[in-house]
Amino acid sequence: MRCHLIDYLPQIGGQLSEIYPKKPIYDIPGYPTVLAQDLINNLKQQIDPFHPAFTLGERVESLEKRDERDFVLTTNMGTQLQAKVVVIAGGLGCFEPRKPAVKGLEDFENGKGVNYMILDPEAYRNKRMVLAGGGDSALDWTIYLAEIAEEVTLIHRSETFRGAPDSVNKVFQLAESGKIKLVLNSNLSSVQGNGHLHGVSYENSKTKEVHTVETDYLVPLFGLSPKLGPIEQWGLNIDKNAIAVNTDDYSTNIPGIYAIGDINTYTNKLKLILCGFHEAALMSHSAYKYINPGIKYTMKYTTVNGINEF
Ligand SMILES: Cc1cc2nc3c(=O)[nH]c(=O)nc-3n(C[C@H](O)[C@H](O)[C@H](O)COP(=O)(O)OP(=O)(O)OC[C@H]3O[C@@H](n4cnc5c(N)ncnc54)[C@H](O)[C@@H]3O)c2cc1C
């Protein structure tokens, strides 16, 4: 089968490349540990012999079923693709970072000091940084960047963190040893700069005192708001922001449309990469049968068949 991948992001790799490319993953079979971006690079190398095609930086807006085995997808840029089967692997949907309500923040977006994701921690080497948030992402990056950045300040609105207890302990230890500055019970109140960010102010929610810290970067890590976006309008059965599927083959209520990975839901669903791989395998076999009615397909191991390059 020939496969064409469309993604709104400018690169392949979904959450792994966009949110945590440099984080080690420990639960991929066969890899005791692997950096998220390395896993994506390896997967890309593995699919290369099949010459998949890519449309990147475009969002699928509409999905029309014209007939059996005849779908048309249209992107926000007007690109149209025709397909016999559609597999939605839309993850959290087209995700947008949750932004704090701070006036003028947008003036420093797009390379001027305010980032909502850390793509390459090396970009912050020897820089002054303010991170904000209380979840795993804020904690993990604070720990990681403490070794790289010149100065790290973590601002959190409360005294308790939502992240893993181990990470919380590490962050408190780093603060005690003076490696980072930890500001609790405080909210971001304003940003200052001239073309590029150079200061961030925060207000203590108890004392109402306002302090300012000089910084090169502000990274608010308040999570992503999962939005299915256009996918909601395609006539699929949606259950709690996800697509309901039949676990026999991860098909949806519309014959010829499948949903795999984080975007689907079923009893005991686990949002894990491993589960996405399994779902993709069952989906592929079912998709082959749907595309080729009447043709008998016998599964052969790759150790027997090798790779049939296109
Ligand atoms: C910080 C963090 C750590 C994690 N650690 C682990 C771990 O250790 N082990 C593990 O197994 N899992 C981990 N996960 C979960 C794992 O990343 C997800 O299960 C996995 O990324 C799901 O893959 P996916 O392909 O279903 O979706 P995603 O990776 O979310 O990719 C979906 C893609 O679809 C695109 N998209 C959505 N809608 C459209 C549209 N309309 N048009 C075009 N493109 C669209 C998005 O841009 C996105 O690139 C972690 C997740 C996070 C956030």
CA distance 275 to 18: 20
Task: Give per-residue pLDDT as tens, 211-230.
Answer: 999 999 999 999 877 678 89
Q: How many alpha carbons lie under 13 Å from residue 9 in its C-beta half-sphere?
A: 16
Ligand 1 pocket member 133 (CB < 6 A) = no
- 158-189 tens-digit pLDDT: 999 988 899 999 999 999 999 999 999 999 99
Residue 152 has what pLDDT? 98
Q: Quick one: which atom of ligand 1 is closest to the CA of 58?
A: 43
More confident residue, 307 or 198: 198
Q: Which residues contact 17 (CB under 8 A, 6 or more apart)?
A: 9, 11, 36, 37, 40
For atom 34 of ligand 1, the residue with the nearest CA is 90
Atom of ligand 1 nearest to the CA of 271: 19
100 lines ligand 1 (CB under 6 A): no
Segment 108-113 long-range contacts (CB within 8 Å, at least 24 positions apart): 108/191, 108/193, 108/196, 108/197, 108/218, 112/193, 112/195, 112/196, 112/197, 113/193, 113/196, 113/197, 113/198, 113/215, 113/216, 113/217, 113/218
Give burial (CB, 10 Å; 0-12/13-18/19+) of 179.
middle
Q: Is the pLDDT of residue 309 over 80?
A: no
Of the residues 4, 5, 12, 15, which should be mutated to test ligand 1's pocket, given the most ligand atoms within 8 Å of the CB? 15
pLDDT in tens, 13-66: 999 998 888 899 999 999 999 999 999 999 999 999 999 999 988 889 999 999
pLDDT in tens, 99-121: 999 999 999 998 899 998 887 78
Give distance in angstroms: CA of 16 to centre of ligand 1.
6
Task: Provide the whole-model pTM.
Answer: 0.72
